[in-house]
Structures are given as structure tokens and as C-alpha cells.
Amino acid sequence: MTETLSAFLDQCRAIVGADYVLDLDADKAAFLTDQRGRYTGRALAVLRPATVAEVAALVRVCAQWRVPIVPQGGNTGLVLGSVPDAEGGAVVLSLARMNAVRQVDAVNRTMTVDAGCILQHAQEAAAAQGCLFPLSLAAEGTCTIGGNLATNAGGTAVLRYGNTRDLCLGLEVVTPQGEIWNGLRGLRKDNTGYDLRDLFIGAEGTLGVITGAVLKLYPQPKAAITALAALPSPVHALRLLNLMQDHCGASLTGFELMSQYCLALVAREFPQLPQPFKTPHAQYVLLELSSSESEAHAVGLLERAIGAALDGNVIDDAVVATSMAQSTGLWQLREHIPLAQAKAGKNIKHDISLPVSRIADFIAATGPKLEAAFPGCQLVCFGHLGDGNLHYNVAPPDGVSNDEFLHKQDEVNRVVYDSVEVFGGSISAEHGIGVLKRDELVHHKSAVELNMMRAIKGALDPLGIMNPGKIL
Ligand SMILES: Cc1cc2nc3c(=O)[nH]c(=O)nc-3n(C[C@H](O)[C@H](O)[C@H](O)COP(=O)(O)OP(=O)(O)OC[C@H]3O[C@@H](n4cnc5c(N)ncnc54)[C@H](O)[C@@H]3O)c2cc1C
């Protein structure tokens, strides 16, 4: 170990204690590999502070030694934002020990939490006070509020409650200079100049370290009801979305599209899961309705809307869950699609968004282009249709190995992302840019937009120590 490195690590140990500066390979390993096991980086050390003051002191030491910092929450991110590069000159700053719920204010309908608080724990703390924190995603048992904010995570309830950005009123941030900005305001109205909070949300740790947040809470719905509708096409799914919104308004809290190929994949890989329809249909929509009145109110709303959809030939068939077990069973079909894909082999993933009105046209136009370029390729197309968000994944044709197909990733991406551009969409709906989409970003942002982003980065982080190489 060089004297310089030793002096740097000694300063870090003096701040957090020797136990919380991990510099042995075995101790660092768990923090260096990404969630999907695709990439392992290297780091000088993993730093594990317990307080905001410790984070600030560590950042000041890193700035002094020009050591890059990679903030990390639950390390469930999907674009390699939370792991260091292969150079080995950075530190991972894990927020995992800062996991407290600081306060729940049921009257203001807010909660203040540490950035390292696990999302599920935040949900539970809100529920214990009779409130709902509505952010919900499959990684909620592991991901943290800081990571959710840094990636502006979406999830299954965006249609009703918005993305994480919409659920945050205030932030506490340690700047790249090691100063603490206390912006933990629980205000719904605050027009006092530039919105600094919104700069740090979605910045993927490139502008500062989020250490705490004030989050919005909502009344707990009295009832939630789930249904699965079968339809002939994505055009019908859009009609159903509008019909449901007209009939149910804000009670519609989930609207997930799944193609027949997706459900067939789930049936093949998880035969124990009950399949609700005897005969296959081209598309399915998983619907969820919440009611602040009663279960009878939710059922009434849903039955009237589904009746109208059947009468208008918008849907072919529907099943309504009549018990919590049935509802869980329907959601399991949706949640098992990524798991079934993982069991079936590797595929080329795209987390894209489009104006809702153009989704059906995008699907109709892009599939044939992929088929022409990669005959026999399989499309695993599902997603949060109500938010215009598709997981548009391309799996190899039968007989082509995963590795052989993955070599074509750049060509596949070109077809998909060019089509996204044509239809006015975004190359990243909810997972962020990280490293994986960094080079693609420049094809989709104007020079004006990129220059403003670079100016913000340069102004807030002139030494370039905050998560370098991510986004820009
Ligand atoms: C099974 C599964 C399902 C998922 N479903 C969804 C989904 O439905 N919707 C969705 O949006 N995402 C989803 N994700 C992606 C992921 O869970 C989210 O991006 C999540 O918000 C990341 O939180 P994290 O704490 O794990 O962050 P990490 O992975 O640790 O970090 C993500 C990024 O945030 C930065 N960061 C982390 N903490 C901080 C901090 N305190 N301050 C500043 N920067 C920080 C990191 O540097 C990195 O760039 C899913 C992932 C998995 C594995």
C-alpha cells in the first residue's frame, strides 16, 4: 500500500472508525458487482458512515485527495451506476448504515427518512401511522430511498402517485465540497428560486450525496381490487386505458400490459402459477383499482367499467380477483415475467417510454423492423402502459445461443432506440443512464441540453469526484 493511500484511509478511519473502512478484497467484494452480476469494478475501499456529519467529513477528505466517490444504496440499480469502474481509484460510499425513519408527521402527511432507509421499511413505518407511502417496486426489500431518489424510480403506482420525484418534498444533501445542505422542508408550495431538490433527484449520485429526504404520504386506500383483461391488440389496450380513466378517474392505480409471449414464458418457467384464461389472447392488461370508500365501491366501479369494455368490444374477456389470494396470483404473473426471462436465458433489455398515444404504433412499427434484421427474434414486451413505459426486451431466435445474440446488442439497440426517437420517446423510462446508456444518451439529447447538463455538473462538482463516468 502506498503512503498516500495509507494516509487517505487513516483519515477515513478517524472519521467512521476502522470497522467501517473496508479495504480487504473479501470485505469489498459484495459492493463491487452489479445487481445482475454482469460487471465487477474495483475500489480503494468501501466507506460506511453512520451520520450526515460523517458523510460530509468523508467527502471533504475525498475532495482533498481527489478520490472519486460512488454513492451506493441497495445496489439494485440496473444501469451500473452504483458500482465503481475498473481503474480502482474510487471509493464506494455505502449509505446502508444510515437507515432510520427520522419522523412520521401524519398530520402534514410526510415522513423524514435517512437515505439508506430500505424502501419497504419506509412503507411499513408509514402504514404503522395509518398512512401510505405509495412507491412500490419489486426490489423494495433491498433498494433504499436514497437510491430511489437518485434514480427517480418509477414502479407500479406511478399512474396514480407519480415517480419518486413526485413523492419528495425536501432533501438533505452533502455537496461535493463536503458541505451539508439542509433542504428537509415539508412544504407542498415553495416558490423561492431554483429548485435545487429537483437537480439531485435523478442525478444518479453525480452531483452530491443524498443523506435524507422528506417524503409525501397519502391516506391508506380502504380497498384495492385487481383484474386481468384479455384483448386482441395494444390498440385495444389504449382504448381500455382511456375507458378505465373515464369511468374510474384517480381510482385506477395500476395498468400493466403483458403480451401472450410473456405469459407463455411464465407458464413454461413457472408451471405452478395458475393461468386465468383457458385459451390464449394476444395481449393482457392487469388492472388495479383502489377506493378510499369501501371494497363494494371498488368492485362496483370495476364491474361497471369492465361491462362497458366488454359491450364496446374493447376487451375479449376478463377475470376479477375475488380474494386477496387471487389478486396476489394475478400480480405474480406480472412479477414473474422478469424472473421467467432470467430463467430462459439472456436477452437484450430496453426500458423505454413513449407518449401513451403512440405506444401501439411503436409496437406495430418496431417488431417488423427487428424481425427483418434478426429473423425469429422473440419480443418480451410488457410494462407500465398507463405511464407510457415499456420493458421491450429482445430474446434470441430458437437455435441461436444467448452469447451469439448478445454480440448483436449494439445493432438491436440501434433498431429499438431509433424507433423510440421516431415516436418521440425516451431511452430510459425509469432505470436511469448510469454507464450502460451513457454513450447512447448523446444520440438523443441536443447539444443545447447536453451543454446545460455539463454546465450544472461543472458548477456543482468542479473537481469531478462525484460518480464520474456516470450519465455524462
Ligand atoms: C427486481 C428489480 C425490480 C426493479 N424494478 C424497478 C421498477 O419497477 N422501477 C424502477 O424505477 N426501478 C426498478 N429497479 C431498479 C432499482 O431497484 C431502482 O433503480 C432503485 O431505485 C435503486 O435503489 P438502490 O438503493 O438499490 O440504489 P443503487 O443501485 O445503490 O444506486 C443507484 C444509483 O443511485 C446512486 N445513489 C444511491 N444512493 C445514493 C445517495 N444516497 N445519494 C446519491 N446517489 C445515490 C448510485 O450512485 C447509483 O447511480 C428494479 C431492480 C430490480 C433488481
Q: Which helix (H) or strand (E) holds 183?
A: strand 180-183
Question: Helix axis angle, 52-65 relative to 3-16, nearest 10°?
Answer: 170
Q: How far apart are the CA of 336 and the centre of ligand 1, in A?
A: 19
Taking only the tens place, the pLDDT of each residue in 345-385 is: 889 999 999 999 999 999 999 999 999 999 999 999 999 99
Model pLDDT, residue 38: 87
Model pLDDT, residue 146: 98
Evaluate: CB of 113 within 6 angstroms of ligand 1: no
Residues 263/312, Cβ–Cβ less than 8 Å: no
Under the banding of pLDDT at 50, 70 and 90, the label for residue 255 is very high
Model pLDDT, residue 435: 97
281's torsion region: left (phi>0), alpha (psi -120 to 50) or beta? beta
Best of 46, 48, 78 for a ligand 1 pocket test (most atoms within 8 Å of beta carbon): 78
Question: What's the mean pLDDT when you consider all of the chain?
Answer: 96
Model pLDDT, residue 323: 86
Taking only the tens place, the pLDDT of each residue in 23-67 is: 999 999 999 999 988 899 999 999 999 999 999 999 999 999 999
Taking only the tens place, the pLDDT of each residue in 200-254 is: 999 999 999 999 999 999 999 999 999 999 999 999 999 999 999 999 999 999 9
**Which atom of ligand 1 approaches the CA of 95 most closely?**
41
Model pLDDT, residue 232: 97
Question: Helix axis angle, 260-269 relative to 324-344, nearest 10°?
Answer: 90
Evaluate: CB of 147 within 6 angstroms of ligand 1: yes
Residues 381/363, Cβ–Cβ less than 8 Å: yes
Residue with cell 438533505: 172
Taking only the tens place, the pLDDT of each residue in 391-449 is: 999 999 999 998 899 999 999 999 999 999 999 999 999 999 999 999 999 999 999 99
Evaluate: CB of 468 within 6 angstroms of ligand 1: no
Q: Which helix (H) or strand (E) holds 394?
A: strand 389-395
Q: How far apart are the CA of 428 and the centre of ligand 1, in A?
A: 13
Evaluate: CB of 70 within 6 angstroms of ligand 1: yes
3-state helix, strand, coil in the chain (%, to 5): 40, 20, 40
Sheet holding 351-353, edge to edge: 317-320, 223-231, 283-291, 252-259, 378-383, 389-395, 351-353
**Which atom of ligand 1 approaches the CA of 200 most closely?**
43
Evaluate: CB of 81 within 6 angstroms of ligand 1: yes
Evaluate: CB of 164 within 6 angstroms of ligand 1: no
Evaluate: CB of 467 within 6 angstroms of ligand 1: yes
**For the chain, what percent of residues have pLDDT higher than 90?**
94
**pTM of the full predicted structure?**
0.95
Evaluate: CB of 73 within 6 angstroms of ligand 1: yes
**Which atom of ligand 1 approaches the CA of 432 most closely?**
19
Evaluate: CB of 471 within 6 angstroms of ligand 1: no
pLDDT at 100 over 70: yes
pLDDT at 156 over 90: no
Under the banding of pLDDT at 50, 70 and 90, the label for residue 88 is very high
Model pLDDT, residue 1: 65
Taking only the tens place, the pLDDT of each residue in 300-352 is: 999 999 999 999 999 999 999 988 889 999 999 999 999 999 899 889 999 99
Residues 313/240, Cβ–Cβ less than 8 Å: no
Model pLDDT, residue 2: 86
**Which atom of ligand 1 approaches the CA of 153 most closely?**
11
Best of 33, 143, 256, 438 for a ligand 1 pocket test (most atoms within 8 Å of beta carbon): 143
Across 174-179, average pLDDT? 98
Model pLDDT, residue 309: 98
Residues in the chain: 472
Q: How far apart are the CA of 216 and the centre of ligand 1, in A?
A: 19
Evaluate: CB of 35 within 6 angstroms of ligand 1: yes
Across 258-268, average pLDDT? 96
Distances (CA, A) of 101 to 32, 113, 198, 229: 27, 4, 22, 39
**Which atom of ligand 1 approaches the CA of 163 most closely?**
11
Q: How far apart are the CA of 204 and the centre of ligand 1, in A?
A: 9
Model pLDDT, residue 187: 98
Q: Determine which residue's CA is closest to atom 21 belonging to ligand 1.
A: 148
- Angstrom distance (rounded) from CA 176 to CA 63: 7
Model pLDDT, residue 270: 97
Evaluate: CB of 82 within 6 angstroms of ligand 1: yes
